[in-house]
Amino acid sequence: MLWTWIAAAAAATTTAGLSADGSVQSPGRHVGAGAMLGARLAPAWSLEGVAEGRLSWEASPLLAGRAELRYLHQHASVLVGGGVAWQDALAPQLSVGIAHDPAPQTRTQARYLHTIGEGGAVLVSIGRTWPAPPTDPVIVDTPEPEPEPEPEPEANTPLSERLAAAEGAQVWIPHPICTWVSVAESDALLSTLPPETLVQVRASGYLPQAVQLSGDEPVALTPVPTQGSLVIAAGAGDTVLVLHESDDQPREVPLNSDGFGLVTLPEGAYTVTVTGGGRTAGHQGLITDGYATWHATPPPEEVIVRFGSGSSVLSAQGRRAAAAVAASPGNWVYRVWGSASPDGRPEVNERLARERAAAVAAALRAAGVPDDHIIELPPSDAHPDGDPATQRAAHIIPTVGGP
């Protein structure tokens, strides 16, 4: 019978150990050392390799190596293995054993070793393991979490009740029906659609509106505003400003190439101001719901600047006339040409006519009219039968575009 004390160490997934034993066994004393290395196959199973060696004063040394399979259950384990032993000759060796772990990291173990042809021996060891040997997994009966309460469904009042205030309202039923249906008849069709669906609603006297099916709040359609139209006829080069009684600032009305402009205004009083071509014209009126109001502004007139006989010097009155044109230029182009009376020599009269046109053009530039809005034309021929005083002049003719 062989008694041995063993110290052992273990890792989390492998088992490794080093053992030393002293024993009394006939016919003599032995001292020995051993090593163990194992691998965890499953939570309750491990495979270990064991190597041992002993020296004896009266016998040959002994070397042994085994593979052992261990099954662990709570604080106990059983093992079985096999290998070879060598002492003068090589011989098979079998092992069976049990182990008990009375406390964490403490193990008491007994093996029966049988060497074929040599006999058997019992090996008892008390050792320490690192970390504690595994046990059967503990199954904790964890109650399933209670399901989260389902959100309360959103209130979904039928659309016919939410639109009760809009008489004659209709709802557009989307694909595959694709038609307008009265609100009173729409509930059954709309109930088949997802609550988040947006549908179009229309009613006489109200603006069209998109409405979500889910909800319980009444739907307030926006009434069509009471409004009318204002049509303005002026020149394409004019600037038109309209001030409604509900506005703080006037709004500009664009004109097309024919000089027409259109604006929609709510009911109430308004003022129209038309400027351009050296003139300023004003209009006033009232907008009535569903009606159009028309205002026409006459085109700008030709401006004539008089000169003295034989003179091309611009008088104070002539400068004021040029300044009046520049005060309301708009987007007009001004054609300027000079004339002279039939008295005197023709070449002198032609020079005077050109100088008079140049003097008026210079006055327009000085008053602020852009240079590209002034076109100087050749002088006109004198009329022998005309009034000489009226022919001593320069003419300013507002036009749209170039000459």
What's the mean pLDDT in 247-276?
96
CA distance 382 to 384: 6
H or E element, residue 93:
strand 90-103
Output the pLDDT for position 62. Answer: 75
Q: Say which CATH architecture domain 8-128 belongs to.
A: Beta Barrel (2.40)
Two tokens at 282?
Answer: 């004003």
Taken in order 347, 349, 354, 359, is the CA torsion positive or negative? Answer: positive
Output the pLDDT for position 26. Answer: 41
Percentage above 90 pLDDT, the chain: 43
Q: Measured in whole angstroms, how far is the alpha carbon of residue 116 from the centre of its chain?
A: 83
Is 80 exceeded by the pLDDT of residue 15? no
Is 50 exceeded by the pLDDT of residue 16? no
Torsions phi, psi of 390, nearest 5? -75, -20
Q: Where are the domains of the chain?
A: 8-128, 159-212, 227-296, 303-399
Q: Between vectors from CA 179 to CA 178 and to CA 184, what angle results, nearest 5°?
A: 125
Highest mean pLDDT among 115-119, 145-149, 276-280, 379-383: 276-280
What's the mean pLDDT in 319-343?
94
Output the pLDDT for position 21. Answer: 45
Q: What tens digit of pLDDT does each residue of 61-106 get? A: 778 888 888 888 777 888 899 888 877 788 888 889 988 877 666 7
CA distance 49 to 28: 28
As a whole number, the mean pLDDT across the chain is 82
Do 303-399 and 8-128 have the same topology in CATH? no
Is 50 exceeded by the pLDDT of residue 10? no
Q: What tens digit of pLDDT does each residue of 171-187 get? A: 998 888 889 999 888 88
What's the mean pLDDT in 357-372?
96
Task: Say if strands 292-296 and 227-233 run parallel, antiparallel, or are unpaired.
Answer: parallel
Q: Between vectors from CA 19 to CA 16 and to CA 20, what angle results, nearest 5°?
A: 165
Two tokens at 221?
Answer: 């359609």
Output the pLDDT for position 349. Answer: 93
Percentage above 70 pLDDT, the chain: 82
CA distance 107 to 102: 7
Residue from 381, 375, 382 nearest 396 by CA: 375
Which of 52-56, 144-148, 210-214, 366-370 is predicted with the least confidence, judged by mean pLDDT?
A: 52-56
Taken in order 9, 10, 16, 19, is the CA torsion positive or negative? Answer: positive
What's the mean pLDDT in 184-207?
88
Output the pLDDT for position 187. Answer: 86
Is 90 exceeded by the pLDDT of residue 241? yes
CB atoms within 10 A of CB 352: 22
Residues forming beta bridges with residue 260, ordered by sequence position? 233
At residue 67, what is the residue type? Answer: A
Residue with tokens 């204002």: 230
CATH number of the structural domain 303-399? 3.30.1330.60
Indicate the fold that domain 227-296 takes in CATH.
Immunoglobulin-like (2.60.40)
**CA dist 287 to 111, 261, 266, 270, 295, Å?**
115, 16, 7, 8, 12
Two tokens at 256?
Answer: 């097309």
